[in-house]
Structure 1
Amino acid sequence: MASNTVSMPSPVCLIENGSDSQLHVNPLALQILDGIRQPVVAVSVVGMYRTGKSYLMNKLAGQREGFALGSTIQSHTKGIWMWCVPHPTKPDLTLVLLDTEGLGDVEKGDQKNDCWIFALAILLSSTLIYNSKGTIDNNALENLQYVTELTDLIKVKSPGKAKPGQEEEDEEEDTQYVRFFPIFVWAVRDFTLELKIDGRSVSEDQYLEHALSLKKGSNKKVSDYNLPRQCIRNFFPSRRCFVFGTPASPDDMIRLETLQESQLSSSFLATTKHFCDHVFNQSPIKTVQGGHQVTGRMLGILVSTYVETISSGSVPCLENAVVTMAQIENQAAVQEGLSLYQNGMKGALVFPVSMDEISHQHQHWETLALEAFMKRSFKDNDAQHMKVLGEKIAEHYTTLLMENEDISEKVCCALLKDLSTPMAKKLKDGFFAKPGGYELYCVDRDAIVAQYRAKPNKGVKAEEVLDQFLKEKDVESNSVLQADQKLSENEKQIAAERERTALAEQQKRMEEQKRLEMEKTLEDERKSNEKRLRLAEEKMREEMESRRREAERALDSKLREQEELLKKGFQEKASMMQKEIQGLKEESKGNVFTNTILPVLSEGLRTVASIFEYKSMKRMFK
């Protein structure tokens, strides 16, 4: 499957509810999710069995068929089924629809299983649709009993990080759920009443909020009445309601899947369209703690992590799941960045090349590799994965430098051998063993050097190989010089001094080339360090901004809830929220992260940069 397309003609089972009463993840579904690299909008539906959940999900998929509807009193959906489709209004996103098995199935008779299905629907979605029939009354809310158990089924923070003796922290943790829970949509099916309260017409949302109003009092009956309502108000930051009239006559309802739209109630169709438009336009991208967007691949990691945790008898923890996902994604981001660099350098270079060219390509492809890493990675707070990528790129660059040197040396040696072959034959034949032979020898040798220098694309070993060549020829030239009877002893001494000067000049050329190469390599490392530091700080600021917005959304929700409590006369409950609201205000300003986390992380990144530079110096002076 391509990274920007989805090809699923029909739903597949994502989480199977096995005969062993255990939940199992379908490998095929994970494979499909793994191929989706786009961010996903995950919409799940929960509710009592045989309430028409699957019909709504098929409408969201833009299909008449797909999720099994069934026409009997038996529940058809078992476990959680998944259908990934292109988002109908946002082409850069994928819509993941999750249809859950009906709650309260008498054939199943396993309330704990229902709880886990409900919890998984919340954990995996960015919008949760609760589907019910009739009206939102006390009975309907009692059917939503699972919401009262969420703090036992889902943990926000790892229990191991709680401080001993601070029970208050556990209580405060309950209020953290509003940061991470999905948008809540209540779909009321077969609604036949008028939307009126105390004789006054109200909207669907007002109808829901009225049904969630709390009663005053402290006895058990009032507490039982308030509990599910308070949980919904506490846990879900955004709530919407849609009421659907009866779509067709009772006789036609059993074949709802095959009915033409012309056979359905016009008001039902209008509500369905309004409902679908709302889900398409208002459902956010699935995110995890820190506001990081979830791709299909990452959603698959979450599914596996949560189901494995439940199967082990433990409680899913949002923080632990994010840490696990970050570890997997950051390792993949390292490999993706490294592969991009390696493939880019391989395609861009044909050895031998100059130091300027290999340095230019290195800087270009390293930048792209780091940007690819940054785009995919998250919660790499100590920059450990970036450090690994930097080290691997540096190692590969060193390998390429050595390979370039080896090939350059071979090319230069082969060129000099080819150019000097005629001269070697002359020497063997005694051509230079005559008066004036030294001058003839120098003409031929200087011609070889001139031709060698004129040949382009010799690479970084050009001067070093030439230096070695001329040193080897020094003994040979001295023999020819001493044998030349045309020259006086004084002339021979002058010629020998000239030879030594020429060799010294060539050695200077070679040393200058090496110095420039060393400086270039160190400059490359300095630029790489600056680049890593800049990109990492940008990433940290982005993640901090996401956290700030996360706190801002939670603050907005809590302020609205506090205002509602005060309006209804629950001053004590409203006052109890003040401490948390104050904390959220501080977080929403971003002061906590800017003043504490950023300086520490920046210092850590500079330390990493110093390590890279030290390693480069060692490499250069070996």
Structure 2
Amino acid sequence: MIFSCMMAPGQVHMAAPICLIENNPDGKLVVNQEAAEVLAGIRQPVVVVAIAGLYRTGKSYLMNRLAGKRKGFCLGTTVQALTKGIWMWCLPHPYRSDLSLVLLDTEGLGDVQKGNTQNDSWIFALAILLSSTLVYNSMGTIDQNALENLHYVTELTKKIKAKASSGEDTEEENSAEFVRFFPDFIWAVRDFTLQLEIDGQPITEDGYLENALRLRKGDTEQIQKFNVPKSCIRKFFPSRKCFTFDRPANKKNLHQLEHLEEDDLEEDFLEPVGRFCQHIWETSRPKTVPGGQVVTGRMLEKLLKIYVDAINSGDVPCLENAVLALSEIENAAAVHEAVSCYEELVGKQLALPTDTVDELLAVHAECEKAANAVFMARAFGIMHVKKFQEDLELQLKQKKEELCQRNEQVSFDRCNNVLVELYRKLEAGVHMGIYSAPGGYQRYLENWNEMVEEYRSVPRKGIQADCALEEFQKSKETVAKSLLQMDCALTAQEKELEAQRAQAEAVQLQQNLLEQKQAQLKQMMEDEKRSHDEQLQLLREKMEKEKKMLEEETERMIQHKLKEHELLLKEGFQRKAREMESEIQRLKEEKKSFPWEQVLSLVGDLIPAMLSLAHLATVSGAGSTPKRSNK
């Protein structure tokens, strides 16, 4: 059972953590469906903080502090590792109501009882792929032994693929893209007792980490092996920070850490813990995927399943493929959500029949605008949005056509009912023979005109008022002609003139109806143009937004690599610096060469093609008449 409750819309507050990924004895990873459903219920962007490190190093306690609790994730008190797989705790963000905080506590690495290092590597890779901030937790000091324990970083090039290239990309080319989506990196050093100084000069915790990551000069195999984990951390994680913690309490109380009050804990432990939590709460970014798209809880749930399915099938998780699959799922869902929004708003705002076509089109335009906003807010990937936008536009156009047809039918039925009711008096007179006497036709004509005036005064008849009257008048032509021929008070010439007058009146009414249809057709075409102009503008804005996000992402990569390039030169690694220059140049060219104009031209092609389809559809329905009620 999951002890969770909904807070603000799309926000979840879990009272306790739950296993998100189960680590089966056979090495298969299984997504816990209950936990996945909780994650899928979060519609807000998520800040995802994952912690990794060797087993029995106190990872879970730090995560409980981030949750603002003393208890939650299980704390082990023996040499046996307790956390298996990956556990999740979803909470409202402590500082931002528009974000949710997702904490991931991973299975301890290096558990001797497990005997499956590949499984450890996959758990670590998932922590990288899912998080926006990764905390690596270790004991003692950042020395070569601690760096070698972080050998999982060096294996990431074999566990994660950035692009689904048709060519054979080298590991270096693949890993060069890691900066685009890797999380911020925090090294938490526990039970740290050394003085923070080098050569007698005090240094900061961050300075301590950067000094530990300095490369050693030399080309021997031993030195290269020594430099590998340092190079990987420097290359993959542009944002790095370090926190050092003293022991939380004396040795005899460590086994009951979660039960200790604040006063029982060491000040040298509490102070950095406070800074650690504050730093993560204040600076951790929402999770994003390549391209800068912010990830919600429901998107993270889908990514999680994509990654786990890839791992279990023996493949290497590919970011490009995962983002493409995610965009297909999200864009399809965005279309469905937008259509549902349109239907709901139309149901609330539109009362049929409307007096004019303009009235209906105004409501349609407002509801369509809201639906498009819903779609654009959720859809992403400008290269993939176009086909889903076309689908949405087609569906909304069909909804509008159905609405227009229903509006006409409701109007026609209402008008016909009114006419049938008003005609009852005339019909009774016909049956009683009142209009069969000499002068009866003139009396019938007067009563008919009185009925028409009364009919025209009835409110809210809708746009089919004249059409219904014309149809009704046609249905009574036989009665009128019969009465005219029976009226012996009229000469043959008078009867002929009256017949011509009635025919001319019918022709004029038909002409009026034709002009109304043409005016309505023009209104529909203008509305189609308005709709397409707005859609084009929305797509342009979407493209500009995604262009800006991609450029900012690429610029961050360039700045990080420039910083690393400068550091390599300073440390005397000329060859590595030249390799970094090549990466920087490639990124600059990539930033310039992305075919934004080509994408925009594809977007612009939507307009004439869709307008032509709209014109054909509207013209084909221009001459239709609603079905008469059989009354």
TM-score grouping bracket, smaller chain normalisation: over 0.9
The answer to whether 1:162 aligns with 2:163 is: no
What one-letter code is carried by the residue in structure 1 that aligns with 2:323?
A: V
Determine if the alignment matches structure 1 residue 554 to structure 2 residue 557: yes
Contact 1:533 1:606 in 2 (8 A): no
Offset at 1:516?
2.0
Instruction: Report SS of the residue matched to 2:172.
Output: helix
Percent of aligned pairs with the same residue? 46
- Give CA deviations for 1:239-284 in whole Å, capped at 9, x if unaligned: 0001111111111111111111111111211101111111011110
Q: CA 1:599–1:386 in 2, change beyond 3 Å: closer, same or farther?
A: same
Q: Secondary structure at the match of 1:254?
A: helix
User: Is the 8 Å Cα contact of residues 55 and 109 (structure 2) preserved in structure 1?
Assistant: yes
Aligned residue in 2 for 1:411:
414
CA contact (8 A) 2:147 2:229 kept: yes
Instruction: Give the match's secondary structure for 1:99.
Output: strand
Q: Which residue of 1 aligns with 2:94?
A: 88
User: Which residue of the partner structure matches residue 293 of structure 2?
Assistant: 292
**Correspondence 1:202-351 to 2 at 5 A:** 202-351=203-352
Question: 2:530 is matched with which residue: 524, 527, 536?
Answer: 527
Q: Would you say 1:124 and 2:127 are equivalent positions? A: no
- Residue of structure 2 in register with 1:491 after alignment: 494
Secondary structure at the aligned position of 1:242 is classed as strand
Question: What's the TM-score, normalizing by structure 1?
Answer: 0.96
Q: Indicate how the Cα distance of structure 1 residues 220 and 294 shifts in structure 2: closer, same or farther if over 3 A, else same.
A: same
Verify the 8 A CA contact 1:548 1:587 in the aligned structure 2.
Answer: no
Q: Is the 8 A contact 1:525 1:616 kept in 2?
A: no
> What residue is the counterpart of 1:504 in the other structure?
507
Taking structure 1 as reference, are residues 541 and 465 closer, same or farther at Cα in structure 2, changes over 3 Å only?
same
Residues 184-219 of structure 1 show CA distances to partners (whole Å, capped at 9, x for unaligned) of 000000000001112111111111011001111111
Alpha-carbon distance in structure 2 between the residues aligned to 1:80 and 1:232: 23
- 2:63 maps to 1:62: no
Q: Which residue of 1 aligns with 2:390?
A: 387
Query: Are residues 1:569 and 2:572 paired?
Result: yes
Please, which moves more after superposition, 444-453 or 431-440?
431-440
Per-residue deviation at 1:620? Answer: 4.0
Within the candidate set 20, 23, 28, 2:29 is matched to 23
Partner SS for 1:395: helix
Residue in structure 2 matched with residue 178 of structure 1 by the alignment: 179
Provide the rounded CA distance (Å) in 2 between the counterparts of 1:464 and 1:135: 88
Cα distance in 2, alignment partners of residues 146 and 620 from structure 1: 68
* Structure 1 residues 219 and 296, CA gap change in structure 2 (3 angstroms): same
1:586 Cα offset (Å): 4.2
Q: One-letter code of the match for 1:569?
A: G
Give the Cα–Cα distance (whole angstroms) in 2 for the partners of residues 581 and 621 of structure 1: 64
Question: 1:301-359: per-residue Cα shift (whole Å, max 9, x none)?
Answer: 01111011101111101111111111111111010000011111122223222322221
Which residue, out of 108, 113, 123, partners 1:107? 113
1:476 positional shift: 2.0
Residues 349-498 of structure 1: pairs in structure 2 closer than 5 A = 349-354=350-355, 355-382=357-384, 383-498=386-501
Is the CA contact (8 Å cut-off) linking 2:517 and 2:622 kept in structure 1? no
Which 10-residue stretch deviates more, 169-178 or 375-384?
169-178
Q: Aligned residue for 2:627? A: none
Tell me how far apart the structure 1 counterparts of residues 204 and 32 of structure 2 sit (CA, whole Å): 41
Give the aligned partner of residue 597 of structure 1.
599
Verify the 8 A CA contact 1:463 1:513 in the aligned structure 2: no
Question: Could you tell me how far apart the structure 1 residues matched to 2:551 and 2:604 are?
Answer: 19
1:501 is displaced (CA, Å) by 1.9
The change in CA–CA distance for 1:358 and 1:181 in structure 2 (over 3 A counts) is same
SS at match of 1:38: coil
**CA–CA distance in structure 1, aligned partners of residues 329 and 558 of structure 2:** 31
The 3 A distance-change label for structure 1 pair 456 and 64 is same
Partner secondary structure for residue 316 of structure 2:
coil
In structure 2, how many angstroms separate the alpha carbons of the residues matched to 1:261 and 1:494?
107
Report Cα offsets for 1:86-144 as digits up to 9, x if no partner: 00011100000000010001111110010000000000000000000000000000000
1:520-562 Cα distance to aligned partner (Å, 9 max, x none): 2222222111121111111111111110011011011101000
Moved beyond 6 Å, runs of 4+:
none
- Stretches of structure 2 that go unaligned for 5 or more consecutive residues are 1-5, 625-631
Do 2:11 and 2:92's aligned partners in 1 also have CA atoms closer than 8 Å?
yes
Residues 525 and 117 (structure 1), Cα distance of their counterparts in 2 relative to 1, 3 Å cut: same
CA contact (8 A) 2:106 2:123 kept: yes
Change (3 A) 1:617 1:492: closer
Among 92, 98, 109, which residue is 2:104 paired with? 98
Residues 367-402 of structure 1: CA deviation (Å, up to 9, x unaligned): 100110000011152511111111111112222222
Q: CA deviation at 1:460?
A: 2.2
- Is the CA contact (8 Å cut-off) linking 1:522 and 1:617 kept in structure 2? no
1:10 and 2:11 matched: no
Paired residue secondary structure (1:44) = strand
- How far apart, in 2, do the equivalents of 1:378 and 1:610 lie? 27
Residue 472 (structure 1) shift: 2.6
Question: Tell me, what secondary structure is at the counterpart of 1:439?
Answer: helix
SS in 1 for 2:476: helix
Give the CA deviation at 1:587: 4.6
Following the alignment from structure 1 to structure 2, what is the Cα–Cα distance between the partners of residues 619 and 79?
Answer: 61
Task: Tell me how far apart the structure 1 counterparts of residues 142 and 537 of structure 2 sit (CA, whole Å).
Answer: 53
Deviation (angstroms), 1:471: 2.1
Secondary structure at the counterpart of residue 14 of structure 1: strand
Supply the RMSD in Å over aligned alpha carbons.
1.7
Q: Does 1:194 align with 2:195?
A: yes
Which deviations, in whole Å up to 9, do the C-alpha atoms of 1:151-183 show, x marking residues without a partner?
A: 10000011xx323xx65x653222110111000
